[in-house]
Structure 1
Amino acid sequence: MPPKVSTNFSDLLAFSGPGPERINGRLAMIGFVSALGVELANGQDLLTQISNGGLTLFVGTSVVLTLASLVPLFKGVRAESKSSGLMTSDAELWNGRFAMLGLIALGFTEFVQDLLAFSGPGPERINGRLAMIGFVSALGVELANGQDLFTQISNGGLTLFVGTSVVLTLASLVPLFKGVRAESKSNGLMTSDAELWNGRLAMLGLVALGFTEFVKGTPLV
């Protein structure tokens, strides 16, 4: 005799219960396919769809699908008992997990793509800030202990650069996500244009430093 399954509401919707992940997965599958379909049909991105009535449709679909998923659970019927063929209960769970990840990735990518577009407000400014820090740091280390740029990189400099890149990129993106641009905080000598030009010069300087030391085979300073 198969073990009796609980039909208690709190058990069904517990974090490890049979309801939440399966229901969320079904919603994600519908949402992901719908979002891609609308994008292909009229070019609206996910955030535009949400603001143009998509949120209301999502809430309505969530209510209907949640109720439809709970009815068999209250009757003691589990998805596992109806599992057969290719679309097993495990396959449904994994498809739902992938759909949840896909939906998050779709929204995040579309949210940041304008900021990180080639002509957007992010890439050149972030690269310029990294170049300024890198150029000054490289020259400072050369003056301090005579190590050229490539020796610095091989002696742990690459790890420091990657860590600095991550921190500086996140720090630069936070105000952009809030709609704050560098131009709006521009005043005095260090205007946003001055920062851009300093960054460009630092990028050129860093490349020139590395190239010169590579050709000479010795530190520049």
Structure 2
Amino acid sequence: MEIFNAANLGFIMGGFGNTIIISALAIVFSIALGTVLALVKQYAVKPLSLLVSAYIELFRCTPNLLWILFIYFTVKGNYIFISVLAFTIFTSAVMAEIIRGGLNSIPTSQFEAAQSQGFGFFATMRLIILPQTFKTVIPALFSQCTTVIKDSSYLAGVNVAEFMYTTKVVMAQTSNLSQVLLLYGFTFLLYFVLNFGISLIVRAYQRRVVAA
């Protein structure tokens, strides 16, 4: 049986599209939640800061797959929602530490200058501190984005129709070694192109920052 037919390729590429959708949504929500977590840990009163620190350490010190399984078996919803939720609660902890590192790199004189101009805390963060912070941490954030894309393959273990799952289903149709290897090569190529493309964007950004 020829494994690379129109139906199989359409099925596989549908899974690839789901991988991109899940990863993109998880990255956006993780950065948003991670920013809030970083700000609370860095600047909030101690009880809140400690609570956020506990959240961050809980997810940073446990495997992503554990939370995928936990969310899958405890939360009701479609597979896109469940997948995005599982990755967001985990990845936001990592993003929070990346963003907090960027916050720590901003000189305190920036805060003093903002206060002297009458800026409040939120205005200072939105207009002065966070733009500089994200400029600093963009390479690290993009690196974490590639990790999310690669780790999305864990979802195949809970039968989410992402790229690895659809590839696995098609692969089960044949025992021909050459076709299996060809399918592996195709899967490798698409993952590589997607993640290498992100790496090229990061390198271009870094060159532009250095040139500026």
TM over 0.5: no
User: Which structure has more helix as a fraction of its residues?
Assistant: 2
Could you state the TM-score of these two structures normalised by the residue count of structure 2? 0.27
Could you state the TM-score of these two structures normalised by the residue count of structure 1? 0.26
